[in-house]
Structure 1
C-alpha cells in the first residue's frame, strides 16, 4: 500500500515579510519561500496522489477559514489558500499568484496552526496518514500564547508533526544569532519555542539552515520490489529425488537511477511553457491553452506502376521484415521468427559452482539482487541457510540460470553467499554475468622486464623505470592518498569522499533545474550546488602538500611539454624534430620514400608527406594515391572495395588541407565525379558517389577548411548533387 501524507504549509504573508534583513537583497518572504517551493515542487515531481498538500496564509488582507465562518473569534486575517489535495502544476501556478505580501499584521500564528490542524483532521479522518504542519514566519506580528498547551495537546492527539521555521531565528546549534532583534520578535520566538516543547513531535529551526540544507540531494525512498517468487533448484526435482528445491524470493538490492526523461509536446504559439498538467489522454490544461503530446505516424509506400504517381500506400500489417544477404533482401515472416525464438519457462536453477578466487571484481557490473527464503517458511529458511553456509565454508560461488517469467530472456547469475556472521542476515547476493562478447581482453608488455626477440629477459632497460623513478612515483601516490585527506568532527583524519556523501551530479542537477523551471519559468537557473561539485576536483590542501612530490616526479621522469603539431605548408624549418635532436631516418638507414604501393597505401602516403621537401613530391604522391583510388573503384566487385577507396580519399583530403594544397584535391575529386557517374570505371559506380563520397563528406574543400581553396559553401553543396 502506498504511503499517505497530508502536509499543510502555514505561510506568513504579513507586511513585515516584504522587508529585507541581515544584508539580504531578497525579502523575508522570498527567502522563506525558497524552502516551501522546493518542498512543494518535490511533491509535484513525485506525482503521487497520496501525497497531499494544503496551504494556509497568515496575516492576509482577507479572512477565509472554517473557524471564522462558524463565528469563532481570533481567526481574523487567516485564509486557506489551497485546500488539502494532490498537488499539480496547475495548482502550483495558481498558488504562486497568491503568495504576495499583504498590508496587515493582524493574524495570529497559533490560530493559523489550529486552522491547519482542523484541515488535516477533516481530510484524513481516522485513516493512516503522515500528518505535518510547517510554519514559515518572521514572527514580527503579535502572537497569542494563552492556549499553547491546549493547542499542543490537540496536535499530539491527532499525531501531527509540527515544524516551525523562522526567518532569522536564533539557533545556537547552527551558530546564528540576530542582533538588534525587536522585543516583539524575541517574545514570539520564546512562545513558539514553548509550543514546540509541549508537542511530542515538533522541531524549531532557523530558515538559513533550512535553505542551506536544500543543496543536499534528497534520496528517493524505494520500497522493496519482489522480482521472483518461486523455487531455487539444484538439479531437476521432476526427475531426481536427490535434487534440491528451495522456495525463495528475490528482491532488487541496487537499481540504476536514470535521469528524468523528456517528452516532446506541442502547444499553441501564443501561450508560454509556464506549467503543464497531463491528463489521461495526454492533453494538458494550461488555463485555456492546449498542450498535448506529439504522436508519430508513419506511412509506407511501395512501387506500383498502376497506381497514381507510381507508388501505392500499404498498411503496416502487410509488411514483413527483411534481412540483407549480400545485395539481396531475404524476407523473414512472423512464422519464421517463432521458430528462432527461445521458449522459456519461469526458472531459477543452479548450474554449477566456481571458486570465489576465480571471480574477478570487474564481473560485478550489473544491478544487484538479493535472494532470501520465503517468508514464514521454516523449511525453506533452513535449506537456504545450509546452502549459504556451505558456499561460505568451501569459498565458492554458485552460477545460476534465471528466467523471471514465462517467455523472458534467460540470464546467468553469480550467487555470492552472505552467511550473516557480521550483520546477522543470511542471503544470497546475485549479479548478472557478462557474455564473452562483453569482455575485452588486452595484453600489455610487463612493467618490470623487457623480453627481447631472442627471448632474453632484461631487468634494466631504458623503457623500464629506474629505482629513483619508482621511489618518486611511490611518494607521489602516497602524497595523493584520499583515504585520510579529510578530518571528522573531532579533528581526526577521515576519508575524503565517503560513499554515503557521493551523489550523481547529473541526476540531482537535472532535478534541481526542473524544480527551478517549474517554480518560476522566467527566472534564471541557479548554478549547481557546491555539494555536487566538491568531489569533482582534488582538495587544495592535499595538492599543496603533494606539490614537492609532484615536482620531484617531473624532474626524475624528465617530463617535457610536447611541441605543438606543425601547421601550414611544409618546410624543413617547420618540421618537428625529436627532443633528442637525433635524425631517426638516418639512424635507421631509411631513405625518403617516393612510391606508394596499393597494399599499404595510407601509411606510405603519410610517410611521403612527412618528409616532402618540394611541391613536386606532393603532386607526385597525390597523383599516385588518386590512381590507387580509381583502380579500387574500377576493380571493385559490387561495393566490396568502395569503403577502402573512400578511406584512401579521406586521408588524401586531410593531408592536402594540412599542407595548403586544396586545389590538387578539388581537381582530382571533380574528375572522379565525372568518371564515377558516367560509367568510365567499368560499370555503374553511382553508389560509390552517393553513399561513400557524398555520405562521407568527401566533396570539395571549401574556404572554411582552407583559406586558399577558392570554393564557397554553396559551390560545394551544388557539387555534391549528382547529375
Structure 2
C-alpha cells in the first residue's frame, strides 16, 4: 500500500514579495512559486488520494483561519484546507497567489497553525507529515516559545522545511549582500527553530529552484510476481528432486512516458454531453471532456444503399490467416488455441557463463529468493546459489506465474552479497524470436571459385586496424571523468535520465500551471549525455585524422550513387532495371534528408530529369521519368527538410515534363 503523506505549504504573500532582487526579472513571489508549483503538479499528476496538500497564505490582507480569535494569528489565510489535490484545486489556488499590500504576519504563528491542521487531519494514524515555509524573511517574527513549538513538531513527527528568498546558505555558496537587520534576525530565528527540530531543513530557495530541472525518479515498490515452489526435477515422481519455496519480484521495469487521451473541447459547459462522451467524465470541471471511440463495421452488399451494409460487432467471427485463406474458429472452440498451463517454476538445465550471449536478453529483470521465515528453503536456496556461482553457471527455467498464463523461459543468474543471496532472472527467446543473419567475414574474401584471399582492397590493412584500435581506445569514457586513481565514473546510471519521459513530464507540468505560456526549452540535464564530451572529442582529433588518412575516406557518396543509377538506366534492356534504379533513388533521397543534405539530392535529380527527357541515358527513357513522378521522388522541399531552399510550389512544378 502506498504511503500516506500530508504536506502544508506556508506561502509568504507579503508586499515585499512583489519586489525583485539579485538581478532577477521575476518578482520574489513568482520566482519562489516555481518550486511550489513543481511540487504541487507532481502531486496532482500522481492522482493519489493519499497525497494531501494544504496551503496557508502568510502576510495576507485578510485573516481567515480557525485560530484567528487568538492574538498573533492575524494576516494568516487558509487558501486550501488539507486534502487531496486536483486540477480544479490547482486552478482555484492559482487565482489566490498574489502579493498583498501588508507587511504584517508572523511566520511562527503560521507554523503553529499548520501543525494544528495536520494534527486534526491525520489524528494518530500513520502519515508522513511535512510543513514547507517559503518566505523572504521581511515580516516581523515572534521568536518566543520556539523550544515548545519544536518539541510539538518532534512529538508529531512533522518535518519542517524553511526555504528563504536570498537567505544565506554557506553549503550552497550563496550570500546576500546588504541584507537588512530585520531579515538577518529572522533568518537567525528560523535557523534556530530548524536546529531544534529532529527532522528539519533550512536552505536558500535558489538551491531548491536550481534542482527543479533535475528529474526525480519515481520510486516504485516491488510487487510479487510469483509465490510458490522452484523445482529441480519432478517431486511427485522422484524422491531426489528438489523443491524450494520461493518468492519472485520484479527488479527492473520498463518506464514509459505519459500517455495522451483523446479529448474534445466543450462548446457549452451547461449543455448535456453527447452520447460520444463518457458517462462519468474524469476531466469534469475543465474545458475538455474525455471521449470514447465508436466503431462501425460494414460488409459488401449489392442490395444495400451504396453497396455496403452495417453489421453488429456481435455478429463478427474470428478468422486466422492461413496463406491467403481465412480459417474460421468459433468462439466455443477458441479454447483449442490456448495452452493449458498450471502455476509452476521449474529448472530445465544449466549453461556455463561463457556460453551465454547477452543479446539474448528479452525483457525486465526479476529477483527470486527463498520464502521469508522458511529456514529449510533458505538453506536450499543458498546451496543452489553457491553451487551456480562456484561452477560459473546459469540455470535455465520455465515459469508460469499463474494457472492459464503463457509459459516463459528465463535465465537464472546467482547473486551473493553479505546477508542476501538470490537468483536474478531475465526472459529468454524462443526459437521464433531469434533471427539469424549471415554476413561475410571481415578478415578474408572468398571468391566464387572458393579461393580465400586475405589481401584485398575491401579488407582492412594492418595499419588501418591499428589506427581504428587507437581511436577506439582514445574514445574510452570509462576513465574520462576519473580522478587520479580513476575511481570517478563519467556517466553513472543514477544520473542518466530518459529525455523522452522527463521532457514530456516537464512540458505537461508547465502547461498545467501556465496554459498560455510557451513550453520552455529542454533542460540541460536531460541533454548532458546526448553527445560525446567536447573535451574528449578535441583530445582525440589527431586519432580521427589518422584514421581518416589510413582508411582513405573521401566525401563522394552521392556522386557514386548517381553514377550507379545512371549506369542502371543506360544498361537497362527496356524497363528491366527500372525498379532497381527507382529503389536506389528512393534510398538516396531518404538518407540525404536524414543527413540534412537536400541540396545534393536536388542537384542530382534535376540533372537526372534533364538526361532522361533528352535521351542521354540510352535512348527514350520518358517512361522511367513517369515512374519517378508516380513514386514522388522529385525535389526535396522545405516541408520535408528544414534546410531545403525549395518551396512546395517549386517541387510540384518540377514534376511537370518539359
TM-score of the pair, normalised by structure 2: 0.86
Give secondary structure in 2 for the equivalent of 1:494: coil
Distance across 2 between alignment mates of 1:80 and 1:514? 28
Assess, with a 3 A threshold, how the Cα gap between structure 1 residues 249 and 563 changes in structure 2: closer, same or farther: closer
Give secondary structure in 2 for the equivalent of 1:536: coil
Assess, with a 3 A threshold, how the Cα gap between structure 1 residues 621 and 237 changes in structure 2: closer, same or farther: farther
Distance across 2 between alignment mates of 1:260 and 1:502? 19
Q: Give 1:89-104 correspondences, 5 Å limit.
A: 89-104=87-102
The answer for the alignment partner of 1:479 in structure 2 is 474
Assess, with a 3 A threshold, how the Cα gap between structure 1 residues 243 and 653 changes in structure 2: closer, same or farther: same
The answer for the alignment partner of 2:32 in structure 1 is 32
Assess, with a 3 A threshold, how the Cα gap between structure 1 residues 270 and 208 changes in structure 2: closer, same or farther: farther
Assess, with a 3 A threshold, how the Cα gap between structure 1 residues 351 and 30 changes in structure 2: closer, same or farther: same
| 2:573 equivalent to 1:595 | yes
Assess, with a 3 A threshold, how the Cα gap between structure 1 residues 280 and 93 changes in structure 2: closer, same or farther: farther
| 2:314 equivalent to 1:320 | no
The answer for the alignment partner of 1:495 in structure 2 is 489
Assess, with a 3 A threshold, how the Cα gap between structure 1 residues 611 and 364 changes in structure 2: closer, same or farther: same
Mean CA deviation greater in 54-63 or 519-528: 519-528
Asked if structure 2 preserves the Cα contact closer than 8 Å seen for 1:612 and 1:618, the reply is: yes
Give secondary structure in 2 for the equivalent of 1:92: helix
Post-superposition shift, 1:605? 9.1
Assess, with a 3 A threshold, how the Cα gap between structure 1 residues 412 and 454 changes in structure 2: closer, same or farther: same
Mean CA deviation greater in 612-621 or 181-190: 612-621
Asked if structure 2 preserves the Cα contact closer than 8 Å seen for 1:622 and 1:652, the reply is: no
Distance across 2 between alignment mates of 1:384 and 1:181? 64
Distance across 1 between alignment mates of 2:4 and 2:633? 70
Asked if structure 1 preserves the Cα contact closer than 8 Å seen for 2:613 and 2:620, the reply is: no
Post-superposition shift, 1:283? 4.2
Of the three residues 414, 420, 433, the one matched with 1:438 is 433
Assess, with a 3 A threshold, how the Cα gap between structure 1 residues 614 and 704 changes in structure 2: closer, same or farther: closer
Asked if structure 2 preserves the Cα contact closer than 8 Å seen for 1:18 and 1:27, the reply is: yes
Post-superposition shift, 1:657? 5.8
Q: Give 1:219-238 correspondences, 5 Å limit.
A: 219-238=217-236
The answer for the alignment partner of 2:161 in structure 1 is 163
The answer for the alignment partner of 2:642 in structure 1 is none
Asked if structure 1 preserves the Cα contact closer than 8 Å seen for 2:569 and 2:578, the reply is: no
Q: Give 1:680-695 correspondences, 5 Å limit.
A: none
The answer for the alignment partner of 2:464 in structure 1 is 469
Post-superposition shift, 1:493? 6.6
Give secondary structure in 1 for the equivalent of 2:67: helix
Q: Deviations over 1:280-336 (max 9, x none)?
A: 92343226x5x4321122233445677777765443222212345566544331133
Post-superposition shift, 1:443? 3.0
The answer for the alignment partner of 2:48 in structure 1 is 48
Assess, with a 3 A threshold, how the Cα gap between structure 1 residues 72 and 343 changes in structure 2: closer, same or farther: same
Post-superposition shift, 1:500? 1.6
Of the three residues 642, 649, 654, the one matched with 1:707 is 654
Assess, with a 3 A threshold, how the Cα gap between structure 1 residues 322 and 280 changes in structure 2: closer, same or farther: closer
Give secondary structure in 2 for the equivalent of 1:227: strand
The answer for the alignment partner of 1:371 in structure 2 is 368
Q: Deviations over 1:207-237 (max 9, x none)?
A: 1111011111101111110011111122222
Name the count of aligned residue pairs: 617
Distance across 2 between alignment mates of 1:299 and 1:443? 46
Asked if structure 2 preserves the Cα contact closer than 8 Å seen for 1:260 and 1:511, the reply is: yes
Structure 2 unaligned spans of 5+:
270-276, 585-607, 636-648
The answer for the alignment partner of 1:540 in structure 2 is 534
Give secondary structure in 1 for the equivalent of 2:283: strand
The answer for the alignment partner of 1:663 in structure 2 is none
Distance across 1 between alignment mates of 2:88 and 2:633? 61
Mean CA deviation greater in 324-333 or 77-86: 324-333
Give secondary structure in 1 for the equivalent of 2:529: helix
Asked if structure 2 preserves the Cα contact closer than 8 Å seen for 1:58 and 1:107, the reply is: yes
| Structure number, greater radius of gyration | 1
Post-superposition shift, 1:468? 3.0
Of the three residues 322, 338, 343, the one matched with 1:341 is 338
Give secondary structure in 2 for the equivalent of 1:429: strand
RMSD between aligned residues: 3.4
Asked if structure 1 preserves the Cα contact closer than 8 Å seen for 2:634 and 2:651, the reply is: no
Mean CA deviation greater in 361-370 or 96-105: 361-370
Post-superposition shift, 1:270? 6.2
Mean CA deviation greater in 546-555 or 119-128: 546-555
The answer for the alignment partner of 1:131 in structure 2 is 129
Q: Give 1:105-120 correspondences, 5 Å limit.
A: 105-120=103-118
Post-superposition shift, 1:267? 2.8
Distance across 2 between alignment mates of 1:215 and 1:128? 31
Distance across 2 between alignment mates of 1:63 and 1:591? 86
TM-score of the pair, normalised by structure 1: 0.78
Post-superposition shift, 1:401? 1.3
